[in-house]
Chain A
Amino acid sequence: MEIHQPAGVAESRPRLLLVGNPNVGKSVLFKNLTGRYVTVSNYPGTTVEVARASSTWDAGATEVVDTPGVNDLDQANEEGRATREMLARHPDALVVQVADAKNLRRALLLTLQLAERRRSSVLVLNMMDELEARGGRIDLEALSERLGVPVVTTIASEGRGTDDVIRALPTGSRLAVDQGLVAKLEDAYARNRARLEQVNELLQGVFALEQPTQPTFGVRLGFWAMHPVKGLGLLAAVMAGLFWLVGLVGAGTFVDLMEVGLFQQRLNPALLRVADAVLPFPHEHRIEELELTVEIPVSPVHAVPLGSSVREVEVPEYELTGPVVGWRRAARFGHDLLVGEYGLLTMALSYSLAIVLPIVATFFFCFSLLEDSGYLPRMAILVNRLFRAMGLNGKAVLPMVLGLGCATMATMTTRILDTRKERVVTTLLLALAVPCSAQLGVLMAMMTRLSLPAAALWIVLMVAVVFLVGWLTARVFGGGSSDLILEVPPMRRPQLANVTTKTMGRIRWYLVEVIPLFLLGTLLLFVLDRLALLDALARVGRPLVVGWLGLPAETAAAFLVGFLRRDFGAVYLLDATIGPNPALDEHQILVAMVTITLFMPCFATFLMIAREHGRKVVVAMTLFIFPFAFLVGGLIHRLAGWAGL
């Protein structure tokens, strides 16, 4: 988030720095103070960028800065570094420390570190409602007196107490706790122990909270989610729900509505008419009868139909009705470029907006829901032991699940892992075998063409590849792995407003990234088609695609565009799969699915891997993934053929 103001004005404005532990409601207070929402997640590491916005209470005279949540200002990770940097860059800014009222002990640890830095601050005790519901008490006056700073209480999620915070800002003062002795200690551990002693003294007679005797439903659900048996059941239920919503509703119903209902039945014919009027040349478009069926899926093959509509519409394919000469050749070129078979509008936009967008949007919605509920860290606990075999710890499951949404975004999230080895191995697995949601949706659609054993084989193979490659790289790669230390946030009911803003933010990010690449990919196909290079490419790729994989020669183009976006390649294959006379039979679909899943991730992911891990890693991964995908694809071609699949 940025502010558009002359630099000079921005520099002279007073500033507020929001600082606090993770998951205490800093970003909600930020929104209450500025009217802007930042997407900050329920687990650490997704956002290490610092959000800034202008205040609303004094007409933008103050700049409010939101920092990533930290437990320790000295901590060595990205969040710690970003927060330290913000504190150092604005030495005179007032610090508004946001604390979870229930967990005052840990907040005060941070307060003492601020005192060591001689900062002026206001302490905001958030989530007072949860404290009161638990029968907890805080003596605000005594606490304020001991710390020497104003203490304000809020319930940020309901917007209560924001005015009190604003009123307290001018009274913000320097923390009056003497930290001279602690600062002299050299060891970080010794300093933290000394601070904890001080916190205990500060809290003496100020803070009281009993452990609840009757666990609430949320608490019990939280236990189940971590339980070795019930947890796996819940995990299976969550995965089944995710599959139903993303794979069936998103990739089925929503894609049908967008692709057939919106694009093919309405938008494309309109675009064709406009193009024909502006760029005329003698031709006639084919008329096809397109049927849109809206249904609620129950299983991959069963659905409850809701209704259908049939329209006779023009499709991009056309036949010439006269000679094309002179300027009309230019008109035809423009027509084909925009609305032809590889048209920027008919292919790129309908692929990206009608097929990819509904799938990605439903996935991001589900992911935000899971994120807001606090379920994801519990998932990390469940799979911890499994991931140990790969030299990773359970935390690595978070980027992997996010990778089911978008591998580029997930590559960035590998930052939450502690060692370089873990980051690189996780990135490799993401690039190799975790299909992103757009691709996953397309693959699901292809999967409906497969028999049950073949579909099962694909799933088992992908899981096996993840663990085998993970296990092998863990042995090949040097460097340590780290043990799991993970804070488990309480399970909460997801807030719809939170979930929607998070989903919208991710979709926006995705579209900005995806649409240019789809346009580029379509342009590439168009140019290759014009220069008759698509056939040449098919000839060159023949030994590999036909000889080794046993696929039709035309699918070589799918792997080419797969470089640009893996899901683009998959969509391309899907186009060859569905329809009245598919170009691929069942066995070929299986081989194509395996190969395209293992194939390179998209171009954007490459750039992101290079940014996060350096060029060497990208080159090494490319040299591994490319032959590996074709190797496994070819082996499956032979093995499955032998097994009769």
Chain B
Amino acid sequence: MASPKVAWGAKGGFQLCPLCGFEFQTDDTLCRHGCPLRSHCGLIRCPGCGYEFADRPSGILGRIRSLIAPREAWEEEVCALVPLRTLRAGARAEVVSVRESRGDRRSTLAVYGLVPGAEIEVVQRTPAVVVRIGETELALDPAIADEILVREPPGDPKSPAP
């Protein structure tokens, strides 16, 4: 039932700039916006500071590499960032960021208490995502839930200890 965590460096996943520490989605990288080479150069350009760095190789190569060189602590921390939509029902998490999008949606969500730092509990995932923030139950379109990044607390119910 648990959907796979979006891996660090994977397509549609998250990147952490090794230089400035800026967290961003791979899709937001400057390569995807206007660079004629697109992603063919194999480098990722941080939208924060402009530093270019090599994407972590995916596929078999990546797996072999991750066997030899395990992820560092800071990488693990970024790994734990997932879109709200991927949490299963009953999971608790802390909101880390709400992506800025059109209109005053962030402000609307803030009124219900859905801001970075808020503790939330997922009530259900389909047909719409319903989260509980304190005493407020809020139904969100899956599209919105995609734009909210959360961090699950260590030892979360999603991966129970054997």
Residues of chain A touching chain B, judged by Cβ–Cβ distance below 8 Å, are: 71-72, 74-76, 100, 102-103, 105-106, 109, 187-189, 192-193, 196, 209, 211, 223, 226-228, 377, 380-385, 393-394, 480, 482-490
Q: How far is the CB of B126 from chain A (nearest CB, A)?
A: 5
Mark interface residues in B92-117 (1 if CB within 8 Å of A CB, else 0): 00000000001111111111110110
Interface of B is mostly: mixed
* Structural contact, A394 and B115, CB atoms closer than 8 A: no
| CB of B134 within 8 Å of the partner chain | yes
* Structural contact, B126 and A228, CB atoms closer than 8 A: yes
Residues of chain B contacted by A489 (CB below 8 angstroms): 137
| CB of B144 within 8 Å of the partner chain | yes
A-B CB contact pairs (8 Å), 7 listed = A76-B104, A106-B135, A193-B116, A226-B130, A226-B139, A394-B128, A488-B138
From A196, A226, A480, contact of B113 by CB (8 A): A196
Quick one: closest B residue to A487, CB to CB? B138
* Structural contact, B112 and A228, CB atoms closer than 8 A: no
Top 3 closest pairs, chain A to chain B, by CB: A483-B141, A192-B110, A488-B137
Residues of chain B contacted by A483 (CB below 8 angstroms): 105, 140-141, 143-144
Complex CA–CA separation, A76 to B115 (angstroms): 19
* Structural contact, A188 and B104, CB atoms closer than 8 A: yes
Complex CA–CA separation, A383 to B127 (angstroms): 8
Residues of chain B contacted by A211 (CB below 8 angstroms): 121
Quick one: closest A residue to B110, CB to CB? A192
Complex CA–CA separation, A196 to B103 (angstroms): 20
Q: How far is the CB of A277 from chain B (nearest CB, A)?
A: 64
Complex CA–CA separation, A168 to B107 (angstroms): 34
Q: How far is the CB of B142 from chain A (nearest CB, A)?
A: 8
* Structural contact, B141 and A109, CB atoms closer than 8 A: no
Complex CA–CA separation, A109 to B106 (angstroms): 15
Quick one: closest A residue to B141, CB to CB? A483
Q: How far is the CB of B124 from chain A (nearest CB, A)?
A: 6
A75 and B135 in contact, given A228-B127, A381-B128, A485-B144 (Cβ under 8 angstroms): no
Residues of chain A contacted by B130 (CB below 8 angstroms): 226, 381, 488
Residues of chain A contacted by B137 (CB below 8 angstroms): 487-490
Mark interface residues in B10-31 (1 if CB within 8 Å of A CB, else 0): 0000000000000000000000
| CB of B66 within 8 Å of the partner chain | no
A103 and B135 in contact, given A72-B111, A193-B115, A196-B115 (Cβ under 8 angstroms): yes
From B111, B124, B128, B135, contact of A100 by CB (8 A): B135
Residues of chain A contacted by B139 (CB below 8 angstroms): 226, 377, 380-381, 384, 394, 484-488
Most B CB contacts (10 A, CB to CB) among A482, A487, A488 go to A488
* Structural contact, B107 and A189, CB atoms closer than 8 A: yes
* Structural contact, A393 and B127, CB atoms closer than 8 A: no
| CB of B39 within 8 Å of the partner chain | no
Most A CB contacts (10 A, CB to CB) among B106, B111, B121 go to B111
From A106, A382, A482, A485, contact of B127 by CB (8 A): A382
Complex CA–CA separation, A608 to B139 (angstroms): 30
Quick one: closest A residue to B125, CB to CB? A228
Q: How far is the CB of A565 from chain B (nearest CB, A)?
A: 36
Residues of chain B contacted by A490 (CB below 8 angstroms): 137
Q: How far is the CB of A393 from chain B (nearest CB, A)?
A: 7
Residues of chain B contacted by A188 (CB below 8 angstroms): 104, 107
A105 and B127 in contact, given A100-B135, A189-B106, A488-B139 (Cβ under 8 angstroms): no
* Structural contact, B113 and A105, CB atoms closer than 8 A: yes
Residues of chain A contacted by B109 (CB below 8 angstroms): 485
